[in-house]
Structure 1
Amino acid sequence: MNRVKLISWYLSCLLTMLGCETRAEYDAEGLFKQVSSSIVTIQTFDEKGRQQGQGSGVVVDKDRIVTNCHVIREADSLKVAAGSQVYAAAWTQTDPSRDICVISAEGIVAPPIDTRKMGNVKIGETVFAVGNPLGFGLSVSSGLVSSISPYRDEQVIVASVPLSPGSSGGGLFDSRGRLLGITTAILTAGQNLNIVLPADWIAEMSKRGTAPPPPSVSPGPEPRWMEETIALQHAGNLLEFENHVRKWRETQPNSALAAAYLGVALGGKNPKEAEAALRDAVRLDDRNEFAWFVLAKLLYRLDQRDEAKQILQKALQLSPNHGSAYSTKAEWLLADNKPKEAYAAVQDAIRVEPGVVEHWRWLGVIADRLDRAEESAKAYQTALRLNPMDDASKQALSNVLARNGKADAARLILGKDSDSNPSNAGTWLSMGFTESARKHYGDAEKAFRKALEISPGNSNAWVGLGVVLTETNRLKDAEQAYDKAYDSKPDDRGVVAEILTNRGNVKSKLGDKRAALADIETAIRTDPTYANAYRSLGILKVEARDHRAVVEAFRKVVASNIVGADDWATLGEALEALGEKSEALEALKKSEKLNPNSQQVLQKLTGYYGRNGDLQKALDYIERAIKIDSSVAAHWSSKGYALLKLNRLPEAISSLETATNLDPQFPSAWINLGEAQMRSNNLGKAIQSLEKAVTLAPAALDARLFLAQSYLSSRQADKARTHANAMLKAQPELPQALAIVTLAYLMDNNYDAALTNYRKIQARSPQIAKSVKAVGISQGLTGAQALPD
C-alpha cells in the first residue's frame, strides 16, 4: 500500500479518535446523565505494574462488570475507575467465542444497568454509545441501528455509532437508557458501522461462562525464542540447542512450538521424553503441522509405523505444501517396496519445494529403483547444481553412470580429468551461454574465461562474463567486464546497446544512478529498437517516482517481443499513479494473465485494490503471493495491513508479527503492527513497535502520529508531545499534531503553552479546536474549560 498517499487518511482518523464525533440533539445529554454512573473505565497492567491499555465496561450487577475479553485477556492485573474512585478488579468469567467477559470489583459504587432483549430492537431506531475512548473520559455518541446481522454464526446488532479505541466494552443504549449490548468492533472506519454484542448474552453467562485461563508468564521482547532456536539448530550445537528449548518450554509452558522443538532436541537422545513433548505440542495446538510431522518421524523410528503414517498424513492435510513431508512419505513407501507410489510422492515434494537437494536425491534413488537411469542421472545432476558439494549425490550419480556404460562420465563426476578439451573460442563461448542460461554460473564463468584466453578482444565473451559476474553479485568486476566489452568497439549497434544497458544496470545497483541513466540513454540513442534499454530506463524512473516517464518507457517494452508479466504490472502501477485507473487495471489484468504466480504482479494487484478500497480483493491477491513464497516480509505486511483495515485485528497482528520476524529492518511492517496493537488497546506493545518504526524511519509521519497518540492514551504527556513536535517540524500547521501537543500540555497543567497551540488550531480549523476543547473538558484536564470558543 502507498503509505505516502494514506498519511492524510491516518491524520484525519486521529480527529475521530480524539472525540470529534457529532453529538445528537435528541436526548443525548439526558441519556448520558442517566447511565454514565454505570459505565466504568477498565485499566490493564503488565506483570511489572505498568499500564498496558484500557477499555470500557458496564456494571450489570453488584460488584459485577461486563466487558469484551479482548480488552483484558493480555493483562496481568486489572483496575476499574468509576467516577473519582479506583478499585482493584479480577477476571471471573469468560465466553471467548462471543468475546464476552465478566470481572468483579468488590465494593464498587455504581448502579447496575437495565437491559433490553434484542428481539424487540428495531432497525432504524436511535441508539447511544457510552464509553471511554482513548482514555479521555466518558463520552456519548449517537446513531441508528443499521441491521441485525450474523457475526461468527450468531446474530448481533450493527449500529452506525462513532467509536474509537477504548470504547470496546462500553454500552449501547436505547433512548430510555436500557442496555442493548456491548460495543466491541469497528466494521468500517469511514462509515462508523460497529458490531454490538446483544445484552441477552450477559444473562447466558451463568450457563456458558467458564473460569478464565491461568495467567501465563510473558517472555517479553527478548529472547526471540523461535529465531534463536532455529539458529542454534542450524549451528549443530546440540547441548546448547536443548538447553535453550528447555528454557523456552519452562518460560512458555503453553507454547506448542516450544514443546515441538523440545521434541526435536531430544529425538536422538531421549526418544520417550521427545515423544511426550511432541504429543503435548499437538495437544496444545492440534493444527501445528510441524509438531505432527516431527512426531510422525519419531514414531516411525520407534517402529510405531502404522501410527506414524497416519500422523504424517495429518501433517500433509494441515500443510499441503510441506515438501519434506512428501519426501518422507516417498522414503517410507520405497521402504515398503512401493516405488511407483514413492515416485508420485517425491514428485509432489519437488513440485512444492523445487530448490531442496534432498528431494532431487530421493527422486534419483526412486527413478533408479524403477530402472529409469536417464531420469535418475538428471535428478542427481539437479541435486549437484543446487549443491555442488553434495557428496552423496555425486557418488550416486557416478554409480548410475558407471552401471549404464558411461564410465568416462562417471570419472568426470568424481573429479578425474577428461581425455580431451576443446580449444576453439567459439565452442567455449557457446558452452558459456548454454550454462549461463541454465544458471550454472560456475561452469559458465570457466567457459567464458577460456574463450577470453583464446580471444581477449571477443566482446560477446566479455558480455557473457559480465552477465555471470552480475548474477553472482560481483558488481565491480562486472562493470569492468562491460568496460572491456565496450572498449572492443563491436560493429553491431544492438550489441553496443546491450553492453551500455547492462553496464547501466550494474552502475544502478552500485548506487551511481546518474551514470546509470547516462549509459541507458546512450543505449537508446544507439539503437532505438532495443527494448531492454527502455525497460531499464523505466525501472530507474520508478525509483525517481517519475510516473509519466515510467509509462512512456514501458509502453515501448509492452509493444516489443520481450514483454513479460512484470512489465505490464509496472506499467499498470504507473498509470494508476497518473490517475488512469481503468487503463491501469487493464494492464494489471494482462500481467496476471501472462503470469498468475508472479510475486511482483500479485503485489501490485494487492496495492491497486487496497488503494481503491477493495480490501477483500487485495487480501485475496496477497494470500496467493504468500502461498507461492511465504518468506517475503512485504507479503505478510501487506496481508496484515489489509486485515487491519478490515478490522480483523488479531489476524492482522499475527501477520504483521510474521513480517517483522522475517525482516526486522522493515519499517512499514512495524508501523502497521503498531497501529494494530494500538487499535487493540495493547498500548505497551504498540509503543514498543512504533518506537522501532521511528528508529528505522525517523521521517515517517504516520509512525510519529500513532506513537504520539499511544503515549497520549497512556498518559505519557511528555513523550506524546515530543513526537507530535517532531511532526510539526515537518508540517508546522498540522492540526492533529497541534491537538496532541495542546492536550499534552493540559495534562501537565501548563495552560499557557496549551493555549498557544490551541490558538494555532483555531486559526486553521475552529471545528477541530472545539473538539480538542471538548476532549479536554470530558477528561477533566485543568484549564480545558478556560480555552476560548
Structure 2
Amino acid sequence: MSTKKRRTQTKFYFLCLSVLLLTIFFNSSLFSRERSNLSSEFYAGLSMGVLKVLAPADGRLYSGSGVIIGPGEVLTNCHVIRKSNRISVMKGALSFHVTSFKKNIHRDLCLLEAPTLNFPAVNLRKPSEMIIGDMVYFYGYPGGADAFFTEGRISALHPMENSFVVKTTAGFSSGGSGGGLFDGKGNLIGITTFFSAGHSGGYYALPSDWIIDLRQSKKFKVNTIQGLTFWEKDLSEQPNFLKFTKYISEQNWKSAFEFSSQWRVLEPSNYDALLAYGRSLIHYERKAEAIEILEKASILAPRNANILFALEQALTGSESSEKLLHVSKTLKKIDPDGVASGKCNMAC
C-alpha cells in the first residue's frame, strides 16, 4: 500500500472517530445508567471495527455489516453475500475489494479476505463467559446507510454446536446482519444474524468462537453460495431451541409440551431442553414435576437466570418456602433488573 493511501486511511480513521464521539455524547437517548462507564476507546473500537458489506447481484445491491477480526479479515453472515460474485467492504468513502472467503452456510458465517484492508481488528470473547442480564451493544449498518448503535441485555444463551447462540434485546433490522454484538469493553461476543417475526424482542447473534472452525476451513474465490442456513430451514430441520421458541410464540402449548418432553429425553444434559420441559409443565400446573426438572437444569447451569425464574414460578405457592426464598435471593443477585422476567424486552 502506498504512503499516500495509508495517510488517507489514517485521516479517515480520526474523522470517523470524531463524528462518532460527537454523535454519542450529544444524543442523550443513547445513555443508560451503565453506559456512562464506557470509554472513548470502546466507541472508537466499534467505529473502526465494523464495516459495511456490499454484494451486488441480479441488478440489485445487497448490503449488510461485517466485523474486522484480523488483518484483512472480515466476519459476516453468508446470507448477506451469497448471491454475489463481486463483494466489497466499505468504511465511509473507502472501499476494499474482497478476493476470497471461507464459508459455513449452515452456521451462516463467512470470513471475507480483503488484502488491502488495514484497519484494527476487534478482540473476541466467548459467549460462555457471559450470563443472562449482561449489558451488550450492537453496532452495524441496518438499512445499508449510516452506522447504528443500540444497547440491550443478553436474554438467553442457547447451547448449539459446542458454543451458545446469543439471544439479546439489543435490536437491529435488515442490514444489521453481519454486525457485531459487543460487551462493555468492545469485545466481540457474536455476529448479529436474525430476529423474531415482528421484532418481538428476539434478536439472535452467532457465537464469536465459531470462527475457530471457520478459519480452518477451505478458502474459495468469491462466488455465489448455495444452501440454507440453520435458521432458514424448515422448522423440522431447525435447532430444537428454535422449534420450542416457535411453538411458544404461537401459544401452541400442546406442541411445546409434546416436543419438550421428547427433547429432554434425547438431550438430558442440555439445560435448554430441561428448561423448555419445565416451562411446559408449569403451564399445565404440574409444578411438582416442574420443580424436579428445573432443579436438574439449575445443576447444569447454576447461574442461568431463566432457569431460576422458572424455578421461582414453580415453587411459588408450594410448601417449600425456604427453597423459594433461596431461589428468589439468588435470582435477584444474578438478575437484579429482571431480564428473565421480561422486564427488559423493550428497555432497561
Shorter-chain TM-score tier: 0.5 to 0.7
2:102–2:112 contact (8 Å) kept in structure 1: yes
Paired amino acid for 2:61: Q
Q: How does the TM-score come out when normalised to structure 1?
A: 0.24
Structural mapping, 1:243-258, within 5 Å: none
**1:210 pairs with 193, 197, 218, which one?**
218
Q: What does residue range 661-672 of structure 1 map to in structure 2 within 5 Å?
A: none
Please say if 1:77 is aligned against 2:86: yes
Pair 1:94-2:103 in alignment:
yes
CA contact (8 A) 1:76 1:215 kept: yes
Query: Which amino acid letter does the alignment assign opposite residue 121 of structure 1?
Result: M
- Equivalent position amino acid for 1:614 in 2: E
Q: Which amino acid aligns with 1:162?
A: G
Deviation of the 1:52 alpha carbon = 2.5
1:275-315 deviation line (CA, Å, top 9, x unaligned): xxxxxxxxxxxxxxxxxxxxxxxxxxxxxxxxxxxxxxxxx
Residue 51 of structure 2 aligns with an amino acid whose one-letter code is V
Separation of aligned partners in 1, 2:105 and 2:31: 34
Helix, strand or coil for the counterpart of 1:52?
strand
1:33 is matched with which residue: 34, 40, 44?
A: 44
The structure whose RCO (Cα within 8 Å, separation 6+) is larger is 2
Question: 1:93 & 1:79 partners in 2: Cα distance?
Answer: 15
Report if the CA contact (8 A) 2:124-2:187 is conserved. yes
8 Å CA contact 1:115, 1:180 repeated in 2: yes
Q: Which residue of 1 aligns with 2:149?
A: 140
Report the Cα distance in structure 2 between the residues aligned to 1:184 and 1:139, rounded to whole angstroms.
15
Q: Give 1:82's aligned amino acid.
A: K
CA contact (8 A) 2:99 2:222 kept: no
Q: CA deviation at 1:192?
A: 2.8
Deviation at 1:615, TM superposition (A): 7.8
Q: SS state of the match for residue 71, structure 1?
A: helix
- Equivalent positions of 1:264-275 (< 5 A) are none
* Distance change (3 Å), C-alpha of 1:152 and 1:195: farther
- Structure 2 length as normaliser, TM-score? 0.52
Give 1:155 shift: 2.6
- For residue 214 of structure 1, report the CA deviation from its aligned partner: 7.7
Alignment identity in percent? 25
CA positional deviation for 1:93: 0.3
Q: Deviations over 1:528-575 (max 9, x none)?
A: xxxxxxxxxxxxxxxxxxxxxxxxxxxxxxxxxxxxxxxxxxxxxxxx
Does the aligned pair in 2 maintain the 1:82–1:110 contact within 8 Å? no
Counterpart position of 1:546: none
Contact 1:32 1:130 in 2 (8 A): no
Which of these residues, 146, 153, 174, is aligned with residue 165 of structure 1?
174
**Equivalents in 1 of 2:187, 2:201: separation in Å?**
22
**Aligned counterparts of 1:103 and 1:215: Cα–Cα separation in 2:** 12
Change over 3 Å in CA distance of 1:189–1:24 after alignment to 2: farther
1:165-193: CA deviation from partner (whole Å, max 9, x where unpaired): 00000101101111111111112534332
Separation in structure 1 between the aligned mates of residue 158 and residue 51 of structure 2, nearest angstrom: 28
Which residues in structure 2 correspond to 1:556-571 (within 5 Å)? none
Secondary structure of 2:47's counterpart equals helix
Structure label with greater radius of gyration:
1
Aligned to 2:286: none
The residue aligned with 1:186 is 195
Q: Which deviations, in whole Å up to 9, do the C-alpha atoms of 1:452-492 show, x marking residues without a partner? A: xxxxxxxxxxxxxxxxxxxxxxxxxxxxxxxxxxxxxxxxx
1:23 to 2:30 alignment: yes
In structure 2, the residue matched to 1:45 is 56
The structure with the greater share of residues assigned to strand is 2
CA distance in 2 between partners of 1:216 and 1:34 (Å) = 31
Q: Residue type of the partner of 2:182? A: F
Q: Of 107, 116, 126, which aligns to 1:107?
A: 116
1:614 aligns with 2:254: no
**1:39-74 Cα deviation digits (max 9, x unpaired):** 000001126xx4421000000111111001111111
Larger % of helix: which? Answer: 1
Amino acid at match of 1:42: V
CA distance in 2, matches of 1:121, 1:168: 21
Unaligned runs of 5+ in 2: 1-28, 228-245, 257-348
1:124 to 2:133 alignment: yes
CA shift in 2, pair 1:214/1:162, >3 Å: closer
Partner of 1:7: none
Q: Kindly provide the amino acid, as one letter, of the partner of residue 47 in structure 2.
A: S
Q: Summarize the Cα distance change of 1:163–1:29 in structure 2 as closer, same or farther, 3 Å threshold.
A: farther
- Are residues 214 and 23 of structure 1, via their aligned partners in 2, closer, same or farther at CA, if it must alter by over 3 Å? closer
Q: Is the 8 A contact 1:128 1:141 kept in 2?
A: yes
User: Could you say what the CA RMSD is over the residues aligned between the two structures, in angstroms?
Assistant: 3.3
Structure-1 separation of matches of 2:146 and 2:199 = 23
Cα 1:203–1:151 shift into 2, 3 Å: closer
1:597 paired residue number:
none
Post-superposition Cα deviations, 1:107-135, rounded to whole Å, max 9, x if no partner, equal 11311111112221121110000000001
Structure 2: which amino acid aligns with 1:201? Answer: W
Note closer, same or farther for the CA distance 1:212–1:24 as it changes in structure 2 (3 Å cut): farther
- Distance, in Å, in 2 between the alignment partners of 1:110 and 1:142 is 24
**For the residues of structure 2 that align with 1:86 and 1:156, how far apart are their CA atoms?**
31
Q: Is the 8 A contact 1:95 1:210 kept in 2?
A: no
Distance in 2 of aligned mates of 1:94 and 1:87: 19
1-side partners of 2:182 and 2:69: how far apart? 13
Q: CA 1:199 to 1:214, structure 2 compared with 1: closer, same or farther past 3 Å?
A: closer
Structure 1 residues 185 and 216, CA, compared in 2 at 3 Å: closer, same or farther? closer
Paired residue secondary structure (1:164): coil
Distance verdict in 2 for CA 1:193–1:32, change over 3 Å: farther
Superimposed CA distance per residue, residues 335-365 of structure 1 (whole angstroms, 9 cap, x where no aligned partner):
xxxxxxxxxxxxxxxxxxxxxxxxxxxxxxx
Structure 2: distance between partners of 1:45 and 1:34:
28
The 8 Å contact of residues 163 and 207 in structure 2, kept in 1 or not, is answered as no
Distance 1:216 1:157 in 2: 28
Whether contact under 8 Å (1:141, 1:161) holds in the other structure is yes
Distance in 2 of aligned mates of 1:82 and 1:44: 15
**1:148 to partner: Cα distance:** 0.7
Alpha-carbon spacing, 1:24–1:615, altered in 2? closer, same or farther (3 Å)? farther
* Matched residues, number: 205
Separation in structure 2 between the aligned mates of residue 120 and residue 38 of structure 1, nearest angstrom: 21
Give secondary structure in 2 for the equivalent of 1:33: helix
1:152 CA displacement: 7.5
List aligned pairs for 1:225-624, cutoff 5 A: 614=250
Q: How does 1:593-742 map to 2 (within 5 A)?
A: 614=250
3-state SS of the aligned residue for 1:76? Answer: coil
Query: 1:153 deviation in Å?
Result: 8.6
Instruction: Give the conservation status (yes or no) of the 8 Å contact 1:67–1:169.
Output: yes
Paired residues of 1:52 and 1:75 also in contact (CA < 8 A): no
Closer, same or farther in 2 for the Cα pair 1:188/1:175, shift >3 Å?
Answer: farther
Q: CA deviation at 1:32?
A: 2.9
**Are the structure 2 counterparts of residues 44 and 29 from structure 1 closer, same or farther at C-alpha, using a change threshold of 3 Å?**
farther
Tell me the residue number matched to 1:62: 71
CA change 1:138–1:46 in 2 (3 A) is same
Q: Which amino acid aligns with 1:169?
A: G
State the shift of 1:92 in Å: 1.4
Q: Which amino acid aligns with 1:79?
A: S
Q: Name stretches of at least 5 consecutive residues in structure 1 with no aligned partner.
A: 1-21, 218-253, 256-609, 621-789
Q: Matches of 2:146 and 2:186 in 1, distance apart?
A: 19
Contact 1:129 1:170 (8 Å CA) reproduced: yes
